[in-house]
Amino acid sequence: MASHRRSGMSDAAAAALLVVAAALLMSTASGGVVPPRVPAVIVFGDSTMDTGNNNAIRTPLRADFPPYGRDMPGGPHPTGRFGNGRLPPDLISDALGLPPLVPAYLDPAYGMEDFARGVCFASAGTGIDNATADVLVSASTTIVSAYYITTCCSIYCGRGRILPSPAFTIGDPTVIPLWKEVEYYEDYQHRLRAHLGRSRAAAIIRGALHVVSIGTNDFLENYFLFATGRFAQFTVAEFEDFLVAGARVFLARIHGLGARRVTFAGLAAIGCLSLERTTNELRGRGGGCVEEYNDVAKSYNAKVKAMVRGLRDEFPKLRIAFVSVYESFLNIINDPAKYGLENVEEGCCATGKFEMGIMCNEDAPMTCDDADKFLFWDAFHPTEKVNRLMANHTLQVCYQEGVL
Ligand SMILES: *[C@@H]1O[C@H](CO)[C@@H](O)[C@H](O)[C@H]1NC(C)=O
Ligand SMILES: *[C@@H]1O[C@H](CO)[C@@H](O)[C@H](O)[C@H]1NC(C)=O
């Protein structure tokens, strides 16, 4: 019998869009009427995901001072999020009918009551490679960072301002490596069982959406900075394979611990980050994107995507989606007006060319008035406006791929 239906694919896509729209509507309308679609959002990764864990450790990689958090709901509130407002996991949680912010596991202001509905283990500066989390304390970079921090601070932290506390000293331990995020996840599960009992805890883990974004620092702060010796040890292709293997071990591990719904983000067009454009400019190659880095992101993404497909075959109960951030990112850069953006090259904070973390502070000159016109908040991290697009895209992929 002939069918009037359009292809299954477009039906699925249309259904997905409806569900996303409904979820977004639900979160803006009367909260609490419709039960959340998942019991919790559980987050792993780097500064694109860190909702405040680095506040609790001694590291210069922090964002717990103004103007970070300038556009948080309810008014300015620096929380350690690397952005002017909320991050993708917060927006995903909100859209799914869960709380509007996903608390950091190391934040003493939250307890198991909160973590049962959402928890973040991510740490700014970390990577898939164990060595990435150590970059700032490795011998070669300690001297460079000491110089960088004292010199730039004399310019930017001026007017008698001391670094936001708790401060740090050079040689402090690392940010949280990915294996340690998994240890925290195990610790969390332990506490969740004590809090709610074995079967309710298991149901939460099974139903929770696990959101993962990591990998940028492995290339930009480790491999291409010659910070760890990986450059001498691996070709780019070998390093990609090494990271993909590490990501696979991580995903198999959290699956083994009960995770069933997972999204794993690919790399953005990392050669187009403001900081990389500036580096390109300093090298006398103009201020365009570093195409070499974008090519690496593309080939790495293809390998991650294949690895994720392999995991789906290997673990039938694992519903996992690869989220291709690269294309969304380039779409924004190629057609800013479509998204209401005016500047996709420089960050809003300070000059927008290199400032992030402690360099992006209240005394830094030139910070923009309306971050919604910018792709980047600081020289490395997107604005909330763009995080919304990324969160939306992630949810759409989740519905299309049956993760939600
Ligand atoms: C990273 O470090 C952890 C803890 O020391 C170790 O268990 C793991 O095997 C390391 N991973 C790699 C790929 O070296
Ligand atoms: C999210 O996606 C839906 C469906 O495509 C769209 O209607 C909505 O405007 C998007 N929201 C944002 C903030 O991009």
Q: Residues 282-336: pLDDT tens digits?
A: 888 888 999 999 999 999 999 999 999 999 999 999 999 999 999 999 999 999 9
Residue 381 falls in the annotated catalytic set: yes
Question: What residue's CA is closest to ligand 2, atom 3?
Answer: 21
Q: Which atom of ligand 1 has the smallest separation from the CA of 179?
A: 3
158-166: long-range contacts (C-beta < 8 A, 24 or more apart)?
158/363, 159/363, 161/361, 161/363, 163/358, 164/62, 164/64, 164/65, 164/358, 164/361, 166/58
- pTM value is 0.86
Q: Separation of 255 CA from ligand 1 center, angstroms?
A: 18
Contact by Cβ (8 Å): 307, 318: no
Please tell me the distance between residue 231's alpha carbon and the centre of ligand 1 in angstroms. 19
pLDDT tens for 248-296 read: 999 999 999 999 999 999 999 999 999 999 988 888 888 899 999 999 9
Q: Using the mean position of ligand 1's atoms as its centre, give its distance from the Cα of residue 107 in Å.
A: 25
Predicted local confidence at residue 171, as pLDDT: 52
Q: Say if residue 134's pLDDT is above 50.
A: yes
Look up residue 185 and give its two tokens. 């996840």
- Told to judge if 313 belongs to the known catalytic residues of this protein, a careful annotator would answer no
Query: Which pLDDT belongs to residue 172?
Result: 54
pLDDT of residue 173: 54
Fold of domain 36-327: Rossmann fold (3.40.50)
Lining ligand 1 with CB less than 6 A are 130, 179, 246
What is the domain partition of the chain in residue ranges? 36-327
**pLDDT digit string, tens, across residues 137-194:** 654 444 445 445 544 444 444 433 334 433 445 555 589 999 999 999 999 999 999 9
Per the CB < 8 A criterion, the answer to whether 323 and 397 are in contact is: yes
Task: Name every protein residue with a CB atom under 6 angstroms from any ligand 2 atom.
Answer: 17, 20-21, 388-389, 392
How far is it, in rounded angstroms, from Cα 359 to Cα 157? 8
More confident residue, 260 or 232: 260
Q: Which of 47, 123, 274, 324 is catalytic?
A: 47
Locate tokens 């000059």: which residue?
Answer: 351
Q: Is the pLDDT of residue 337 over 60?
A: yes
User: Is the predicted pLDDT of residue 19 greater than 80, yes or no?
Assistant: no
**Average of per-residue pLDDT across 14-25:** 49
Active site residue 195: no
Residue 133 has pLDDT above 80, yes or no: yes
